[in-house]
Amino acid sequence: MTEYRKMDCDLLVIGAGMAGMVAAARAASLGIRTILAGNSGSLIFVSGMMDYLGVYPMEARKSVADPALGLAGLRAAEPDHPYGSVDHEQILQGFDFVKKVLGKAGLAYHLSGGRNLSVLTAMGTLKPSFMVPKTMEKGTRLFGETAEKKSLLVIDIKGLQGFSARQVAAGMEHRLARVIPVTVEIPGISQTIPPIVLAQLFEDPKVQEAFVRQVLAFSDKVDIAGMPAVCGVHNSLGIQQRLENLTGLPLFEIPGLPPSVPGLRLKNAFETSLAASGVTFLSNVTIKDPVFNGKKFTLTGSTDNRELSISAGGVVLATGRFPGNGLHARRERIVETIFHLNVHQPVTRSLWHGTDFLTRQGHLVNRAGIETDKDFRPLNKRGAPVFDHLYAVGSILAHNDWIRLKSGAGVCLVSACAAVDRFHKRRSKAGP
Amino acid sequence: MEKTIETQVLVIGGGATGTGIARDLSLRGVRVILIEKSDLNAGASGANHGLLHSGARYVHSDIEAAMECRSEGLLLKQIAPHCIEETGGLFVAVPGDDEAYIADFPGMCERAGIPCRPLDVKDAGQMEPCLSPLLIAAFEVADAAIDPFKLSIENMNHSLAQGGKYSNHSQLKEFIRKDRKIIFARILDTKTNETSRIRADIYISATGAWAGFVAAMAGVDIPMVYSKGSLLVTGQRMATRVINRLRQAGDADILVPGGVVSIIGTTSLRVKSPDNIFPSVDEVDLIINQGKQMVPDLGSRRYIRAYCGVRPLIGSGGTDDRDLSRGFCLLDHANDGVENFITITGGKLTTFRLMAEKTSDLACERLGLPSVCRTRYLALPQTEGSGWTEPGVSLGQGSSFHGREEMMCECEMVPASAIDAIVAGIRKNRAVPDLLSIALRSRMGKGPCQGSSCSLRVLSHLYNRGEITGPQGVDGLRRFLNERWKGERALLWGTSLAQSSLKEMIHCGLFCLELGQGDLP
Ligand SMILES: Cc1cc2nc3c(=O)[nH]c(=O)nc-3n(C[C@H](O)[C@H](O)[C@H](O)COP(=O)(O)OP(=O)(O)OC[C@H]3O[C@@H](n4cnc5c(N)ncnc54)[C@H](O)[C@@H]3O)c2cc1C
Ligand SMILES: Cc1cc2nc3c(=O)[nH]c(=O)nc-3n(C[C@H](O)[C@H](O)[C@H](O)COP(=O)(O)OP(=O)(O)OC[C@H]3O[C@@H](n4cnc5c(N)ncnc54)[C@H](O)[C@@H]3O)c2cc1C
């Protein structure tokens, strides 16, 4: 039986990834009556790190130490990049806003004081980021211009695939005084274990103690220890502190292959925050068929057994790219899936991708997307906003190759905050 | 001082032909070393359609080649059944196809002695429901599918078992000649950049499209042109049999099943060089648009990979390279003033054994060894660890895989034990395993996710086993990703693009593999 229902709100946010979550949280903080629709499952893929601008220019093939400097270069050379519509201060405020939202929901993040942080990954590579889960913070202190060379214990866990302490050690040997790889065995794991299940196991004190017993032997040989990001799903920082107390070693988490535990923690924290701030969250609802009657939008939201008719004064489109399905690529061209907006893209498919996967310049398809005005309102072919109160935020935006620039979460959160702020301002001006 | 190794015969090129020769000579008791600049089947042998031709395809253009295919095909089905799936094949025509060609076809097959049974088009549609409902003619022939990877691996393994030697990442750089003879070959180890010498009585170039370059090193000129052919792999198998378009050879007119997938191709494009080629977006579109005339579903299928190979064509031909003979070309360079140098090129996978036989006969004659070829009767043994090249093998036939085993590649169901067996096999050849050499010997990374997770799982597994140490593992990952990319980039739309984006997010967005790590803070 299909159930029909009508709903009404000031702002409908479509998409519950990084950008949609931040937009909804921002709207709630401004007292806007908000509905958020979408599948927050996509957050389980994200690494948990939040980048500002890690690399600029791309050709440099290395990270920038100071993202503000990179931003200046980027804004000058590529004014159409989403960061062209905001400034450094706004970006910092965006990070700070998200940090507070997550903090209130019990998930602690460490925000850089200004320089990019170097995060050790499960590949044994370093990745520049700007705000990382507190449980990753101590690792970032191993690197950087002034860091002295420390001895590191890298721990992997038997049965956790895609994470080898030896591999991480091989990547770090030349950077640190000493790196010792060790494998810890958790009782009861027979073959392989998915990271999220392992993280749940880590909430069990018996598992923690087994871990500690095997790490203890190294306590006086190293200064610090890194482990996969599986330190519990809930209360990860508390569990980490307990392990630190028992081993006598500072610990940090190392991000790895999805599905990602830090991603799950983010999802949980955002959902806690939404619930507390009164946002209506329609999880697993797919939005389609938008109609604008000159004043309000009406859209259909559907699940397997529900049809919702949602009317909204404004809409924030945060539906992501190809994996999120905000953009869809046909053989001949790329389309936007809900409003059929104009998608900025290369003229033919043969230009979408370069011949080298790891190309310095990045692939042009990653710069395809929705072009907007300075208020993040999508433009039609003539360069005018399609609707007064339709906004596009996050990775769906054009001219934004976040993969190469290391600016994923940064663009999501600052575009989300800016769009919602501008919607709010415009609405208050126009009166209720 | 360079290290020198001595042997009776040096075979250059590790494709079907080279490995076939190594096996043939080893079985005759000749000491042989095979060198390959990259790894087994790096050339056309790893980039073909996998069709064991009944011969019907060539009855019009080249009756001799057609007859060779027929007899070799029959023979291979006897001696190497584990490399072959006897699918049978159809030739079908759709409205607009040349009526005269259709009418002549059965007669041409009969002249070549190739069995060919006319079918009612309705029956053909029932035999292969994917076929266009508009067929105007259909015939049944004895085509089959052959796994070229397994074939070369087993050829080489059989040679190794008889005392043959194999060296990968070993590139012929130079022939040193004295008077009418080559006195030694200089070999570059492309992994360590060290050179060494091999001194042999006879030098055989089985380098396919690269034969011209190798001959030039001996001062011999072989005029060659190169024809690139691209192929697409569908996500699922579409037909039981091989399906050929009943017309003069054209683009995208053969659909060959291979395990759980099907392969549609090919194109034919002149290229300047056999190196740095990849399937283009235009070729992909051409193949799909042509192929769907015969099998409509090809228009909406998900494709998981594209690849291409180069056909070496000797001499400059007419306008369509497909008209040039696909027969093979055995060159005794004594005629060009180099007594101990032989080139074998051209031909087909289907006729590799015959090519190897003729080449080995000539080599033995030059060596003054009376010998008989044994490959015509002797079965090709099946070795352990070779069964992982075939798509979906673990799902079907009896392999040693049990449900609870640790899985490395989930799309293609490759368990850890298979990876270990493959690595052991690579080690046995005294070669160093990396992701590419494992991928070559298995279906790892060839499923829908294109290796985004399994590459990382296998890599960490190799580190944990101590098979890889130091930073070269991540470089191996980069090489693997770039190699996979060649087959991916022209096929990226729909779900495939979504999956590929996710892969880029993981490997570049998160792990920063595109950055030169030396420069990071
Ligand atoms: C593997 C991986 C690693 C990453 N690593 C980093 C990192 O190290 N640092 C960093 O800063 N960022 C990282 N990112 C995250 C990145 O910042 C964001 O995830 C990315 O920019 C996309 O966010 P988004 O919200 O724009 O889109 P998505 O996360 O794709 O969200 C789109 C949402 O829209 C929903 N949707 C689409 N269509 C509809 C519809 N019709 N109706 C309802 N809902 C719909 C989808 O279900 C989905 O929930 C990583 C991401 C991934 C996948
Ligand atoms: C697109 C396409 C589709 C085809 N489809 C079919 C089919 O369905 N059925 C069929 O029967 N045949 C088919 N063929 C033909 C078949 O693939 C080839 O005839 C056969 O694989 C040739 O094998 P080979 O060993 O002679 O050459 P290759 O497989 O090309 O081997 C040559 C080897 O020499 C190596 N090499 C080159 N230079 C050096 C050097 N300097 N030092 C060391 N090594 C070197 C290369 O790396 C390469 O591995 C097809 C060919 C193409 C291109």
Chain A partners within 8 Å of B453 (Cβ): 162, 257
Mean pLDDT calculated for residue range A414-426:
97
Give domain status of residue A380, yes or no: yes
In whole angstroms, what is the distance from residue B185 CA to residue B205 CA? 12
CA distance A426 to chain B (A): 35
Question: What ipTM was assigned to the predicted interfaces of this complex?
Answer: 0.97
Co-location of A408 and A318 in the same domain? yes
A127 close to B (CB below 8 A): yes
Give the range of the structural domain holding residue A135, as residue numbers without chain letter: 122-255
Last residue of a domain, one of A226, A255, A284: A255
Residue B400 scores a pLDDT above 90: no
* Pairwise CA distance, residues A196 & A262, whole Å: 9
Domain total of chain A: 2
CB B349 within 8 A of CB B72: no
pLDDT digits (tens, 9 = 90+) for A268-313: 999 999 999 999 999 999 999 999 999 999 999 998 888 999 999 9
Check A350 against B281: CB less than 8 A apart: yes
Question: What CATH number does the domain containing A38 carry?
Answer: 3.50.50.60
Q: Has residue B227 got a pLDDT over 90?
A: yes
Residue A81 within a domain? yes
- How many CA atoms, within 13 angstroms, populate the side-chain half-sphere of residue A304? 0
In terms of DSSP bridges, do strands B170-178 and B303-314 run parallel, antiparallel, or are they unpaired? unpaired
Which of A69, A127, A156, A167 to mutate to probe the B interface, most B CBs <10 Å?
Answer: A167
User: Which residues, listed in sequence order, are joined to residue A186 by a DSSP beta bridge?
Assistant: none
* CA-closest residue to ligand 1 atom 31: A17
Q: Please indicate whether residue A49, judged by its CB atom, sits closer than 6 Å to ligand 1.
A: yes
Query: Is there a single domain that holds both residue A236 and residue A316?
Result: no
Closest CA to A139 of A250, A42, A51, A58: A250
pLDDT band, residue B387 (cuts 50/70/90)? low
Contacts of B294 by beta carbon, 8 Å cutoff, 6+ apart: B92, B94, B131, B132, B243, B245, B253, B255
3-class state of residue B185 by DSSP: strand
Residue A51 lies in a domain: yes
Kindly list the residues from chain B whose CB atom is less than 8 angstroms away from the CB atom of residue A127: 510-512
Task: Quickly state the pLDDT bin for B39 (edges 50, 70, 90).
Answer: confident
Question: Which residues of chain A lie closer than 8 angstroms to B519, CB-CB?
Answer: 60-63
Percent of chain B with pLDDT over 90: 76
Residues A21 and A155 in one domain: no
Distance B50 CA to ligand 1 centre (A): 40
CATH of the domain at A234: 3.40.50
Instruction: Say how far apart CA B118 and CA B139 lie, in whole Å.
Output: 4
Q: What is the pLDDT of residue B408?
A: 85
Nearest to B55 by CA among B11, B112, B126, B8: B112
Residue B389 has what pLDDT? Answer: 58
The Cα–Cα gap between A61 and B397 comes to: 47
Q: Clarify whether residues A19 and A63 are in a common domain.
A: yes
Please name the residues between 487 and 506 in chain B that touch chain A, using a CB distance below 8 Å: 488-490, 492-494, 497-499, 501-502, 504-506
Give the closest-approach CA distance of A379 to chain B in angstroms: 24
Q: Alpha carbon A17 to chain centroid distance? A: 8
Give the nearest partner residue to B502 out of A167, A323, A354, using CB atoms: A323
On whether residue A412 sits in a domain, the answer given is yes
Residue B68: CA count within 13 A, CB half-sphere: 19
When pLDDT is averaged across residues B42-67 and rounded to a whole number, the result is 94
pLDDT at B404: 57
Provide the pLDDT confidence category of residue B320 given band limits of 50, 70 and 90.
very low
Both A354 and A373 in one domain: the answer is yes
Within a domain: A156: yes
Same domain, yes or no: A224 and A291: no
Q: Can you name the residues that pair with B304 across neighbouring β-strands?
A: none
| Residues of A in Cβ contact (< 8 Å) with B507 | 358
Ligand 1: which residue has its CA nearest to atom 22? A395
| Mean pLDDT estimate for chain B | 90
Q: Which of A320-329, B204-213, B292-301, B316-325 has the lowest mean pLDDT?
A: B316-325
Does ligand 1 lie within 6 Å of residue A269's CB atom? no
Count the alpha carbons within 13 Å of A51 in the hemisphere toward its beta carbon. 30
Q: At what angle do helices A88-104 and A261-277 cross, to 10 degrees?
A: 80
| Residue pairs spanning A and B at CB distance below 8 A | 172
| Residues 6+ positions from A22 with CB-CB distance below 8 Å | A94, A97, A98, A101, A412, A413, A416, A417
For A226, left (φ over 0), alpha (ψ -120 to 50), or beta? beta
Q: B206 or B62, which is more confident?
A: B206
Query: Which of B278, B508, B513 is closest, CB to CB, to A355?
Result: B278
pLDDT at B519: 46
User: What's the whole-number mean pLDDT along residues A178-189?
Assistant: 94
pTM of the full predicted structure?
A: 0.89
Q: What is the atom index within ligand 2 of the atom nearest the CA of B256?
A: 8
**B489/A353 touch (CB, cutoff 8 Å), yes or no:** yes
Closest alpha carbon to B501 in A226, A407, A45, A37: A45
Cβ-Cβ contacts under 8 Å, B512 against chain A = 121, 125-128, 406
Judging contacts by C-beta atoms under 8 Å, the chain A residues touching residue B471 are 124, 170-171
Residues A32-37 have a mean pLDDT of 98
Helices (H), B324-471: 352-367, 416-428, 435-440, 454-464
Question: Are A191 and B406 within 8 A, CB to CB?
Answer: yes
Q: Which tens digit of pLDDT belongs to each residue from A359-408?
A: 988 999 999 999 999 999 999 999 999 999 999 999 999 999 999 999 99
Per-residue pLDDT for A160 more than 90?
A: yes
- Separation of alpha carbons B428 and B437, rounded Å: 13
pLDDT at B391: 45
B129 CA from centroid of ligand 1 (Å): 40
CA of B72 to the centre of ligand 1 (A): 55
Q: From the CB of A394, is ligand 1 less than 6 Å away? A: yes
In a domain, A361, yes or no: yes
Closest atom of ligand 1 to A18 CA is 25
Q: How far is A307 from chain B (nearest CA, A)?
A: 26
Q: Is A121 on the interface with B (CB under 8 A)?
A: yes
Atom 4 of ligand 2, residue of closest alpha carbon = B48
* pLDDT value at residue B397: 31
Q: Which of residues 194-253 of A touch B (CB under 8 A)?
A: none
- Judge whether A171 is closer than 8 Å to chain B, CB to CB: yes
* Confidence category of residue B385, pLDDT binned at 50, 70, 90: low
Q: Which B residues 45-74 touch A at CB under 8 Å?
A: none
Tell me the β-bridge partners of B230: B308
CB contact under 8 A, A349 and B280: no
Q: What pLDDT is stored for residue A430 in this prediction?
A: 72
Of the residues A188, A220, A255, the one at which a domain ends? A255
What's the pLDDT score for residue B218?
97
Kindly give the distance from the C-alpha atom of residue B507 to the centroid of ligand 1, in angstroms, as a whole number.
16
Whether A282 and A424 map to the same domain: the answer is yes
The pLDDT of residue A145 is above 80: no
Q: Are residue A415 and residue A337 in the same domain, yes or no?
A: yes
Last residue of a domain, one of A255, A275, A298: A255
State how far the Cα of B235 lies from the Cα of B303, in Å rounded to an integer: 5
Do A59 and A137 fall into the same domain?
no
Residue contact B515–A63, C-beta within 8 A: yes
Whether residue B208 has its Cβ less than 6 Å from ligand 2: yes
Using the Cβ of B463 and the Cβ atoms of chain A, whether some distance falls under 8 Å is answered with: yes
Please indicate, yes or no, whether residues A282 and A208 belong to a single structural domain of this protein: no
Task: Dump pLDDT digits (tens) for B113-172.
Answer: 999 999 999 999 999 999 999 999 999 999 999 999 999 999 999 999 999 999 989 999
A170 shares its domain with A284: no
Does any domain span residue A400? yes
Query: What is the per-residue pLDDT for B521?
Result: 43
Q: Is A228 in the pocket of ligand 1 (CB under 6 A)?
A: no
In a shared domain, residues A341 and A418: yes
pLDDT (0 to 100) of residue B518: 53
> Does a structural domain hold residue A115?
no
Of the candidates B33, B43, B21, the one whose C-alpha atom is nearest the C-alpha of residue B210 is B43
Query: pLDDT digit string (tens) for A227-261?
Result: 999 999 999 999 999 999 999 999 999 999 999 99
Tokens 């990849």 belong to which residue? B278
| B482/A171 Cβ within 8 A | no
The share of chain A scoring above pLDDT 70, in percent, equals 99
